[in-house]
Amino acid sequence: MLRSTHSRILALFAATAVAVAGVPTAAAGDNNKHDDDAMVIASGLNSPRGLSFGPDGALYVAEAGKGGDGPCFAGPEGGTSCFGKSGSVTRIGKHGQQRRVLTGLSSIAEEGTGNAGLGPSDVSFLGRKMYVTEGLGLDLDFSKTIPALDDMGQLLRAFPHENDWKTVADLADFEDEFNPTGDEENVNPNSLVATHRGVIVSDAGANDLLRVQPNGKIKVLATFPNVKVPAPPELGMPPGTKLEMDFVPTSVTRGPKGALYVGQLTGFPFPVGGAKVYRIVPGKGPKVVARGFTNIIDIAFDEKGTLYVLEIFKNGLLSGDPTGALIRVGKHGKKHEVMSEGLITPGGLVIHKGDAYVSNCGTCAGGGEVLKIDLD
């Protein structure tokens, strides 16, 4: 029997992070390791993921952390993962000042290395209020046996200048009670957009899109069912065999006319070119607006309404190649690769005033960085 899709994702992230653990440390601060149009503006981060500009003009990045001293437990496919309070949010000032303004958030990561952190996964502002998704990515029946994990799988509202936060919604409890897709109970809130009507969250574990309303109630905006895909030849299965693949919505953003757009990682077997971008209209099913991507981790629009897609593994999660890619989507879906060289398991994307900001090496403890990429 095939093991959990989400477990496979975690295990592959961990394996890749181990393989490239020495790369980002050497690359940080050395622009020769990156495309000529990229500049390192922050380094020394622990599994950096989603980014957002705050009302003060500074850039904020969620760090999933490096776990800690425990409790520890068996990892999804061998090895050991450990819990700790190493999750954080870092502020990057207009002149490059770098400081962790929110610390002590829950994190789990690979024992010993601290790689492949799971914890704070994205950040978004509504006025001065900062919202943070706290990931989890484990089967809920299992995670409930470890009390230390109770603070994960949450939506938080943070007060960074006070280094304080509170839980706005317990997304793990919602999944446990309602399970909108009817699939295995797994929660991993990965991306969010704060709006006046509520905070929109894409849950890569539960395969749904949620709105946490200002009163704290949770509304399901869309669900993403599993689909059948051909089994890769390397699995050695009989010809014509098809596998059930999870959707895995890793990213959500607002695009032209305020519509919501969702990017898809895909689950196992992670078909190359099998990921899509969807437009979500309330009351209607998700509509494909761009296709042919591989393992999307984030999406964003520039000021002109042009779509950009960030792939965490441009050659597929099963390739063993940790190279990612930033892609511009033109008219009629035509793709232009903006940057790939130097992108190692990138974790998040935001576009601001003609530049792309990418969190790089999103699975690396202490070796993560933020790149500023000229889009002109």
Question: Could you report the per-residue pLDDT of 263-278, keeping only the tens digit for each?
Answer: 999 999 999 999 999 9
CA–chain centroid gap for 274, Å, is 18
Does residue 162 or residue 179 have the better pLDDT?
A: 179
Question: pLDDT tens for residues 25-81?
Answer: 334 334 335 666 899 999 999 999 999 999 999 999 999 999 999 999 986 556 799
The two counts, helices (H) then strands (E), for the chain are 4, 29
Place of tokens 């190649």: 321
CA dihedral 257, 297, 362, 10 (to 10 degrees): 140
- Backbone φ, ψ for residue 157 (5° rounding): -110, 125
Give tens-digit pLDDT for 231-259.
988 888 999 999 999 999 999 999 998 89
Question: Which residues lie closer than 8 Å to 34 by C-beta, 6 or more apart?
Answer: 27, 40, 339, 341, 342, 371
Cα-atom radius of gyration of the chain, to the nearest Å? 19
All structural domains of the chain with their residue ranges: 5-374
d(CA 87, CA 163): 12
pLDDT at 32: 36
Q: Is 164 exposed, middle or buried (0-12, 13-18, 19+ CB in 10 A)?
A: exposed
pLDDT band at residue 131 using 50, 70 and 90 as cut-offs: very high
Is 3.40.1010.10 the CATH number for 5-374?
no
8 A C-beta contact, residue 93 and residue 58: yes
Q: Is the pLDDT of residue 12 over 50?
A: no
At position 57, the amino acid (one-letter code) is G
Mean pLDDT value across residues 88-108: 96
What pLDDT sits at residue 2?
A: 35
Model confidence pLDDT, tens digit, residues 273-315: 999 999 998 777 899 999 999 999 999 999 999 999 999 999 9
Q: What is the mean pLDDT of residues 16-23?
A: 44
Cα–Cα distance between 347 and 59 in angstroms, integer? 15
Confidence of residue 374 (pLDDT cuts 50, 70, 90): very high
Q: List phi, psi (to 5°) of 63.
A: -110, 120
Do residues 143 and 135 lie in contact, with contact meaning Cβ atoms separated by under 8 Å? Answer: no
Q: What pLDDT sits at residue 283?
A: 75
Cα(78)–Cα(294) distance, rounded to whole angstroms?
A: 26
Report the amino acid identity of residue 200: I
Q: What pLDDT digit, counting tens, does each position of 306-344 carry?
A: 999 999 999 999 898 999 999 999 988 899 999 999 999
Please tell me the predicted confidence (pLDDT) of residue 6. Answer: 43
Choice between 258 and 83, residue whose per-residue pLDDT is larger: 83
CA-wise closest residue to 206 among 263, 155, 140, 260:
140
Task: Kindly state the tokens that stand for 233.
Answer: 């030849």
Higher-confidence residue: 5 or 230? Answer: 230
Percentage, residues of the chain above pLDDT 70 = 89
